[in-house]
Structure 1
Amino acid sequence: MDTREKLLAAAARLFHEKGFTATSVAEILERADVNSGSLYHFFSGKEELLRGVLERYHALLPDELIAPAEATTEDGVERVFALLALYRKGMEITGCRYGCPIGNLALETTDAYPNIRPLVEANFVQWIGHVERWLAAEGARFPRGTDFHRLAQLVLTTMEGGLMQTRARRSLAPFDESVAALRHYLDLLMGKKGKGNAPSRTTHRRPSAPRRNSRSARGR
């Protein structure tokens, strides 16, 4: 691992464990076992290091989360739940302490550092895109007119909300309950196929698939 990657890996772990604001440059240097000159050779300061961490998350997502989820099954819907199970495992290992690294940084930094928002958004857009692809691959199982982009956004919302509640309560129960509700919803949608009441893009029935809206709604 080269020096730049050591700095990014150390910063990512500390931002996840402690938060961006509570993490000092000195702690990052100590965790990475490098000197300050090395840090400032690659990064002008802590904000640029944050940018690097978010870019790193974006680059690692396909190999660290998407590929493992895809390796578990050929079923697109089940790949969604395999991905959610990876987040659950992370919370279980850490005692429900840390939550989603991207979600945490989004809440903490995007007001103070507006230039960071596009990088946070890019991470969410990529995540949503993979889930949308999986769901769309199972399109024949869903009602005609189902908007898989909006449905993938719902999956992201379920994941982030479940992790936030799990972190707050130090219990996996909120995450498990959120995922169970999502599965029930998808089962209802898939059960509607061919019964003459598939949702359209202009009508609103319950339960219904999310409808297409402006693409400016991408992300959280």
Structure 2
Amino acid sequence: MGSSGRRVGRPRAEQRPDSGVPPRDELLAAAAELFTTSGYAATTTRAVAERAGMRQASMYHYVSGKEELLAALLESTVTPSLALARRLLADDSRPAVERLWELCRSDVELLCGGPHNLGGLYLLPEVRSERFAGFHAVRAELKDTYRQLLAATEAGGALAKSALDLRTDLVFGLIEGVILVHRSDPERPVSAFAEATADAALRIAGV
């Protein structure tokens, strides 16, 4: 998905001055807005390019098309949480229950704190295809980190594997599902919502 193999410097659309933002980032921002407001299937590459302030032909210098944009947006909802999860998993100076709570809280803030409902893109049927294997891989690793942190708690460590897997599924499902709850009340403070969700996740986990 990287742009290292693509040329840069194509002319920008004349109606929009150069903002100083890298063109690929402008395309991602435009795609995020259009995919979540107009729908992925209904959004054309021409619409994305125009919203980003460039010609459609120029767009293909930075991305291969809609699928690459969607894949990058999906991964952007996971990779920051995964980086934090790895750090929390390695930090045995704090109780596992505290680290699990922090991961839940931070993950909710990431999913609900952006300007667009990117979490809603998880439900697109296109996302099940092999083209999005990278997203599924990082999401699976994040979910496994949740499982490992839960297993490291006193209550989680006493669970059989099947019970541990079920509680992990429930906690992870709650965290990913909060975007739908938050969407119904977008004025709700994200920080308070994230803390309340983390509290609920630990209750579901039984810790």
Which TM-score band (shorter chain)?
Answer: 0.5 to 0.7
Q: Give me the whole-angstrom Cα distance separating, in 2, the residues matched to 1:160 and 1:168.
A: 15
CA contact 1:8–1:53 (8 Å) conserved in 2: yes
Q: CA RMSD in A?
A: 4.1
Aligned to 1:66: 85
1:187-219 deviations in whole A, cap 9, x for unaligned?
Answer: xx44xxxxxxxxxxxxxxxxxxxxxxxxxxxxx
Higher relative contact order (CA 8 A, sep 6+): 2
CA contact 1:128–1:149 (8 Å) conserved in 2: no
Aligned to 1:184: 203
Aligned to 2:179: 163
Note closer, same or farther for the CA distance 1:31–1:134 as it changes in structure 2 (3 Å cut).
farther
Q: 2:146 aligns with which of 128, 131, 135?
A: 131
Aligned to 1:203: none
Note closer, same or farther for the CA distance 1:14–1:156 as it changes in structure 2 (3 Å cut).
farther
**Aligned residue type for 1:156:** F
1:36-83 deviations in whole A, cap 9, x for unaligned?
Answer: 3332134343234323433555555434x5368678x83332223223
Q: Give me the whole-angstrom Cα distance separating, in 2, the residues matched to 1:169 and 1:48.
A: 31
Cα shift at 1:90: 5.0
Q: Give me the whole-angstrom Cα distance separating, in 2, the residues matched to 1:139 and 1:165.
A: 30
The total of aligned residue pairs comes to 181
CA contact 1:29–1:36 (8 Å) conserved in 2: yes
**Aligned residue type for 1:124:** R
With the length of structure 1 as denominator, give the TM-score of the two structures: 0.57
**Aligned residue type for 1:79:** R
Aligned residue for 2:202, secondary structure, equals helix
Gaps of 5+ in 2: 1-20
Q: 1:1-220 maps to which residues of 2 (within 5 A)?
A: 3-8=23-28, 10-12=30-32, 14-16=34-36, 19-21=39-41, 23-30=43-50, 32-55=52-75, 57=77, 59-63=79-83, 65-66=84-85, 74-90=94-110, 93=113, 98-99=116-117, 101=118, 103-110=119-126, 114-116=129-131, 118-138=133-153, 142-146=157-161, 147-170=163-186, 172=188, 179-186=198-205, 189-190=206-207
Gaps of 5+ in 1: 191-220
Q: Give me the whole-angstrom Cα distance separating, in 2, the residues matched to 1:14 and 1:148.
A: 39
CA contact 1:98–1:167 (8 Å) conserved in 2: no
CA contact 2:30–2:51 (8 Å) conserved in 1: yes
Note closer, same or farther for the CA distance 1:162–1:50 as it changes in structure 2 (3 Å cut).
closer
Give the % identical residues.
26
Aligned to 1:216: none
Note closer, same or farther for the CA distance 1:16–1:122 as it changes in structure 2 (3 Å cut).
farther
Q: Give me the whole-angstrom Cα distance separating, in 1, the residues matched to 2:121 and 2:107.
A: 16
**Aligned residue type for 2:170:** L
Q: Give me the whole-angstrom Cα distance separating, in 2, the residues matched to 1:52 and 1:185.
A: 31
Q: Give me the whole-angstrom Cα distance separating, in 2, the residues matched to 1:75 and 1:34.
A: 50
Aligned residue for 2:124, secondary structure, equals helix
